[in-house]
Structure 1
Amino acid sequence: MTYITLAKSDAEIERCFAIIQALRPHLIASEFVSRIKRQEQQGYQLAYLEDEASIKAVAGFRIAESLSWGKFLYVDDLVTQESDRSQGYGTNLLNWLLDYAKANACEQLHLDSGVQRFAAHRFYFKQRLEIRAYHFAINLIQ
């Protein structure tokens, strides 16, 4: 049975680590739960899709508001277990995020994707997402 839910307990958050680490390899397992808990204080939430007692896809997101976008859901992290890609898990999780955004009166959904992530871009285009801006950044700590 497939279902999507928010990771609330430390154990649920911990179960999401292996999937998130595929997208964020710099993360350290022993620090993961505390990092998620800190981010939750700023509105971050972690959702996961589970099928046959195994987590297949994970999304980290937050709801915010800005002058440019109004109220929006921002997807910080969206990843499907590599061996489970192209089986509909990512689509199901993204559709859940869209429904969650609508249920919370968001006007838009936004995410950034690294310029090198061509397979992810194909997925986003297939899901009707559009490129609307460039994202600029500078490292402050070297």
Structure 2
Amino acid sequence: MNPAFNKILKEQIPQILPLVQRLMENQFSDEILQERFEEMFTQNYECFGIYLEEKLVGVFGMWFMTRHYAGRSCEPDHIYIDEAYRSKGMGKKLFEFIYAYAREKGCETSELNSYVHNFRSHKFYLNEDYVIKGYHFLKKL
């Protein structure tokens, strides 16, 4: 299984929305997600599709920033791989791509968030040598 990781262009946002909706458990309308992704594309954000033989089977984004405590950093975000393609080594290949891509962009570190209830991802990230450094807090304004 050799996935391709292809950059998603702004015009291609509608193609990734079904996968993002599954990840987000349909919390938001496609219209809201479309607007948010369009704005994200104007910031230090890049989006990629995960393809197997030209079939879109996953999606993820990457944020780039400089943090006083971590230096130049990459934050993988909204990682979703279709259930039929999980536990087949694709996540490992995905993160190899992320690390190489982040290094090319001058990143020293990678940090990410994971939903509290997503225990499988916690195990995966710990096996990737991520360490839990704190809690992520969110407040609606």
TM-score band w.r.t. shorter chain: 0.7 to 0.9
Residues 10, 41 of structure 2: 8 Å contact kept = no
Deviation sequence 1:10-48 (CA, Å, 0-9, x none) = 13x222112222211213224433321211111221111
The root-mean-square deviation of aligned C-alpha atoms, in Å, is 1.7
Tell me which residue corresponds to 1:131: 132
**Within 5 A, what are the aligned runs for 1:54-133?**
54-133=55-134
Q: CA 1:29 to 1:139, structure 2 compared with 1: closer, same or farther past 3 Å?
A: closer
Residues 60, 80 of structure 2: 8 Å contact kept = yes
SS of the equivalent of 2:58 reads strand
**Separation (CA, whole Å) in 2 of partners of 1:32 and 1:135:** 21
SS of the equivalent of 2:111 reads strand
- List runs of 5+ in structure 1 lacking aligned partners: none
Tell me which residue corresponds to 1:19: 19
**Separation (CA, whole Å) in 2 of partners of 1:2 and 1:66:** 31
**Separation (CA, whole Å) in 1 of partners of 2:65 and 2:22:** 26
Instruction: Give the CA deviation at 1:9.
Output: 4.4
TM-score by length of 2: 0.87
TM-score by length of 1: 0.87
Instruction: Give the CA deviation at 1:134.
Output: 2.1
Which one-letter code corresponds to 1:23 in the other structure? L
Residues 75, 110 of structure 1: 8 Å contact kept = yes
Which one-letter code corresponds to 2:120 in the other structure? A
**Separation (CA, whole Å) in 2 of partners of 1:38 and 1:76:** 15
Residues 56, 84 of structure 1: 8 Å contact kept = yes
% identical aligned pairs: 24
Residues 58, 80 of structure 1: 8 Å contact kept = yes
Which one-letter code corresponds to 1:19 in the other structure? L
Tell me which residue corresponds to 1:34: 35
The number of residue pairs the alignment matches comes to 139
**Separation (CA, whole Å) in 1 of partners of 2:49 and 2:92:** 13
- List runs of 5+ in structure 2 lacking aligned partners: none
